[in-house]
Amino acid sequence: MRAPLADSQITAEFSDDGLLAGSAGCNNYSSGYTASDGVMKISPAVATFKFCSEPAGVMDQEAIYLALLTTVSTYAIEEGQLTLADGSGQSLAVFAAGQ
């Protein structure tokens, strides 16, 4: 897991109706998800088709992030942070919860 590139922001907003939306660093994305008792499954995301050349590497970062979403198996909310992890417990993404 790495921090987002400088001058890029990755966001995730989980709605109560099973929709996930946010920014993948350049493009906006959306997906469906299910979550219960620490177990989560995220469907493949759809994203807008904008190309960003700055910051350098942002399109690669975005592709990796969107691919990792489908490997999420668990989640935990602790100390104001939402952590998404794969089946082996490796953290894939950490977000400030409730922001």
pTM of the model: 0.89
Helix and strand totals (H; E) in the chain: 1, 8
Listed by start position, the domains of the chain span: 13-96
pLDDT at 8: 84
Tens digits of per-residue pLDDT, 18-60? 999 999 999 999 999 999 999 999 999 999 999 999 999 999 9
Q: Is 20 in a helix, a strand, or coil?
A: strand
Query: In whole angstroms, how far apart are CA 87 and each of 19, 41, 56, 72, 73?
Result: 21, 11, 31, 7, 5
| CATH code for the structural domain at 13-96 | 2.40.128.270
Q: Mean pLDDT: which of 9-13, 40-44, 77-81 is highest?
A: 40-44
Q: What is the 3-state secondary structure (H, E, C) of 74-85?
A: EEEEECCEEEEE
Which sign does the torsion angle of CA 76, 38, 35, 93 carry? positive
3-state secondary structure of 64: helix
